[in-house]
A and B are shown apart, each in its own frame.
Chain A
Amino acid sequence: MRSTRIAVYGLVTLLACIYLMPLLVVVLNSLRSTPDIFRNGMIGLPHGLEFSNFTEAWSGLCIAEHCTGIRGYMFNSMMMTLPATVISTFFGALLGYAISLWRFRGDMWVFGIITLGVFLPEQMKLVPWVLVLRDLGLYNTVAGLVLIHVIQGLSFTTLFCRNYYVGIPQELMKAAKIDGAGFFRIFWRIVLPLSPPILIVTVIWQFTGIWNEYLYGVTFASGDHQPVTAALIALAVTVSEAPKYGVQSAAVLIAAAPTLFVYLAGGKYFMRGLTAGAVK
């Protein structure tokens, strides 16, 4: 039995090392000089710490002919992700509440159709979005991307919140109706105060998903309006002739930092979101 335990721990530790390796490599390389990486490969310990990689990645790196680093793209991503996360979560909560607790004629149909949006490939929606954004004058703007992610995100947030709210007893709704509370009062005073667990899950999920999204970002924004995911791809293409792996690693690390931070800060809720959204 003892030897089995040791084998289990050994295997788990080995796997953990393999899963950690890419992150470790990026962290180490972000501190190494480009010649060092060329000479010794991607995997190796730094000889001295090159913090200059970060400053260059942040504000000096050339991406598609703009030599201002990824600063602007990070800003775009933030300006896209934060409002889209908040707005889509709010409306998801409202719709989830209406579908699960307020109930209305055809609510199950509405729910079914909205959840279908979770599965639809983004490619199916590209052409209509082109037209909608053009007509609204939002093409190549961050606001356009916010709109896309709010509407796209509604499917996820409604699904999450509805699945959580069905656990709230109907008797609570009855009591509130007899107490004289209406649709919005019940939402504000009873449902929202019960919601922090699911709101945290939804916010984490939306933040991660929107921050990491690439296809819409590259299709509906160009040049210095793009989010950071698109910039990373552009960067990989730009520097392919004369790679600067150290600086690029720093850029990758900066780009991945917000979602990694959110994950580490709310890991418990992240896991709960996965299982809640998927199994139901």
Chain B
Amino acid sequence: MKAARRSPGEVLPLLAIWVPVLVSILYVVGFTLYTVWIAFTPSTLLPEYGWVGLKNYVAILHTRNWNIAAANIVVYSVCFLALTTFLGLLLAVLLDQKLRGENVFRTIFLYPLAVSFVVTGVVWGWLLNPGIGIQKVVVGLGWTDFRFDWLVDRDRALYCIVLAGAWQASGFAMALFLAGLRSVDADLMKAAQIDGAGPLRTYRRVVLPTIWPIFIAVFVILLQFAIKTFDLAVALTGGGPGISTVLPSMVVYDFMFQRGLLGRGSAAAVLQLLMLVAVLVPYGVFRRWQTLKAARNA
């Protein structure tokens, strides 16, 4: 490159590009590295400069909070993923039937996404509250033995978060699946029809196999939502009953701002990040492989 003589007309665009770019990079990379570093320091209420190695991690891994949260996040993620994908796919296939009023239905299934996790949590908290919610209504209808008290049950309260989460996110899965279904070549459906396949077989053998990349995308996006879940659980169960429904994100917050242990909180945040990395890196590799394969076939 030759030494560039730059006129003001060339400098201004460079500023306009690089200032936000550098801020963004500082934010994404710098903030992450800072938190990673704090996790190795003895910081409590304020960041302190020192080195304690993996002490914070060891301490975190030995707290009951974290262990419950780690177990919870696995159960929650699996159940949330299964229920949301199932509902999303069901809704997408139903809406794919050229229904009258498709727009109305789509609006209904998607509106929860516009509602905050906080509102979702509060409202589902009421519905699932056995004293005033669904249980009370069903009992009032005369079915006096009916019990739906998961919210106050230590072993089942987590599934309440799954329910509320699936209500909120299934529209999202539906939207992605529907876009996928609509992108399937119409000639493929006609060919299957001529081959004598009924609607169920057409979906199972022809349509769904062609949109499998969408399944992967839906899984990954939902999974990273699940790992980051915070507001919903705070609003719905607040981690209770007891600490039976704490999630890693809540443990981070608890350590950082309730107990004033920034080092340990950061270590928990890094562990949470590692869970995300475990989901996203394989996906990134998979996407890369896909594009390479597509490039080779082109």
Contact = CB atoms under 8 A, between A and B. Distances in A.
Nearest to B126: A42
A104 B18 CA distance: 10
Q: Which of A19, A126, A127, A131 has the largest count of B CB atoms less than 10 A from its CB?
A: A127
Interface string B71-93: 00000000000000000001100
Nearest to A110: B21
Given A23-B111, A236-B235, A91 B276 contact: no
Contacts of B12: 183-184
A116 interface: yes
Nearest to B119: A256
A278 B24 contact: no
B94 A8 contact: yes
Q: Which of B105, B115, B119, B231 has the largest count of A CB atoms less than 10 A from its CB?
A: B119
A270 interface: yes
Main secondary structure of the interface of B (DSSP, over half): helix
B207 interface: no
Interface string A89-123: 00100110010001010000010011011011111
A41 B31 contact: no
Interface string A240-280: 00000100100010011001101110010011001100110
Contact of B269 (A20, A104, A121, A155): A121
B105 A16 contact: yes
Main secondary structure of the interface of A (DSSP, over half): helix
A116 B172 contact: no
B217 A279 contact: yes
Contacts of B9: 182
Q: Which of B110, B231, B265 has the largest count of A CB atoms less than 10 A from its CB?
A: B231
Interface string B155-183: 00000000000010001100110010000
A12 B24 contact: no
B18 to A, nearest CB: 9
A121 B249 contact: yes
B149 to A, nearest CB: 14
B36 to A, nearest CB: 8
Contact of A214 (B13, B227, B231): B231
Contact of A113 (B13, B29, B129, B224): B29
Contacts of B172: 274, 278
A10 to B, nearest CB: 10
A58 interface: no
A233 B58 CA distance: 32
Contacts of B150: none
A116 B32 CA distance: 11
Interface in B192-233: 199, 214, 217, 221, 224, 227-228, 230-231
A172 interface: no
Contact of B273 (A11, A42, A124, A182): A124
B114 A42 contact: no
A122 B228 contact: yes
A252 B122 contact: yes
Contacts, number: 247
Contacts of B234: 214, 233
B297 interface: no
Contacts of B176: 274-275, 278-279
B292 interface: no
B132 A41 contact: yes
Given A42-B133, A214-B117, A214-B231, A114 B21 contact: yes
Q: Which of B90, B113, B227 has the largest count of A CB atoms less than 10 A from its CB?
A: B113
Given A117-B28, A259-B114, A104 B17 contact: yes
Contact of B231 (A113, A211, A215): A215
A116 B133 contact: no
A270 B28 CA distance: 26
Contacts of B126: 25, 29, 42, 245
Contacts of A43: 127, 133-134, 136-137
A271 B20 contact: no
A85 B28 CA distance: 19
Nearest to A268: B103
Contacts of A200: none
B119 A42 contact: no
Contacts of B228: 121-122
Closest 9 CB pairs of A and B: A212-B116, A183-B13, A263-B114, A41-B136, A214-B231, A128-B31, A123-B269, A123-B252, A117-B28
Interface of A: 4-5, 8-9, 11-12, 15-16, 19-23, 25-26, 29, 37-38, 40-44, 91, 94-95, 98, 102, 104, 110, 113-114, 116-117, 119-129, 131, 151-152, 154-155, 158, 182-184, 208, 211-215, 219, 229, 232-233, 236, 245, 248, 252, 255-256, 259-260, 262-264, 267, 270-271, 274-275, 278-279
